[in-house]
Amino acid sequence: MANKYNARGSYWCMGCGLPVIKAGKRRPRCAVDPFHAIAYFSSQKELKRWNILKLRERLGEIRNLTPHPTFKLIVKGKLIGKYTADTAYIEGEQSVVEEVKGDRGVVSRDWPLRVKLAEAIYGIQVRVV
């Protein structure tokens, strides 16, 4: 399956760590346990980075690894939009938010603004990998 940037995405089971094959229009389900959470990674590079971070979590270098955290962009009490990063985790005592970009670095038109707003509102630093 290719997305609008011509990158092959894939579904991944968060419970058992196995790839999930989507059949037709139905919602993808894990073959081991249909109640496991399923995450969609929009590119193979993002999936590889997730697997590296998962290994680092098992080794104890990082903790609280979360796929696709969403930050609501609220300015003066008004919801402007939302920013969804690729991953978030805690390294040492520092909270880290990561964004994986491909070799061409294709970004949507408003992505830089959303990142800057999220950094200003939540006091985070977004790492682009």
**Domain range annotation of the chain:** 63-128
Tally the C-alpha atoms within 13 A of residue 108's C-alpha that lie toward its C-beta.
Answer: 8
Q: Which of the pair, 126 or 12, is modelled with greater confidence?
A: 126
Q: What is the DSSP string of 44-81?
A: HHHHHHHHHHHHHHHHTSEEEEEES-EEEEEETTEEEE
- The model carries a pTM of 0.78
Place of tokens 């991944």: 12
pLDDT for 91-118, tens place per residue? 998 899 999 987 666 677 888 999 999 9
Strand 38-41 and strand 10-13: pairing?
Answer: antiparallel
For the segment 62-72, what is each residue's pLDDT rounded down to a tens digit? 999 999 999 99
